[in-house]
Amino acid sequence: MKKSVLYPIYEQVQNCSDEAAAKQLILDVLNKQPQTDSIRLMKVRLQHQVFGLDKIVWWTYQNLLAKEGLQVIG
């Protein structure tokens, strides 16, 4: 099964000390990917809908789980 593009950095995101650093880490990874509709949607959601470090960590895990068909709704 293919893993999320965020899989290699999920622990780094969890250990970030602030929101800006976590978002930038994720955006750096997303910007290196081929710009498919799903990657663009992830970038837009992260930049405009996800605020606060705890929400960014939650969003990252949700994206990891969604790639494996195990997403938690909430």
pLDDT digits (tens, 9 = 90+) for 49-72: 999 999 999 999 999 888 776 655
Closest CA to 10 of 30, 31, 25: 25
Look up residue 48 and give its amino acid.
H
Amino acid symbol at 35: Q
Of the chain, the percentage scoring pLDDT greater than 90 comes to: 77
**DSSP alpha helix (H) spans, 1-74:** 10-14, 19-31, 37-49, 53-67
Structure tokens at 9: 């950095």
The full set of domain ranges for the chain reads: 7-67
Burial class (CB in 10 A: 0-12, 13-18, 19+), 70: exposed
Question: Cα 8–53–6 angle (5° rounding)?
Answer: 15
**Does residue 74 register a pLDDT over 60?**
no
pLDDT in tens, 15-50: 999 999 999 999 999 999 999 999 999 999 999 999
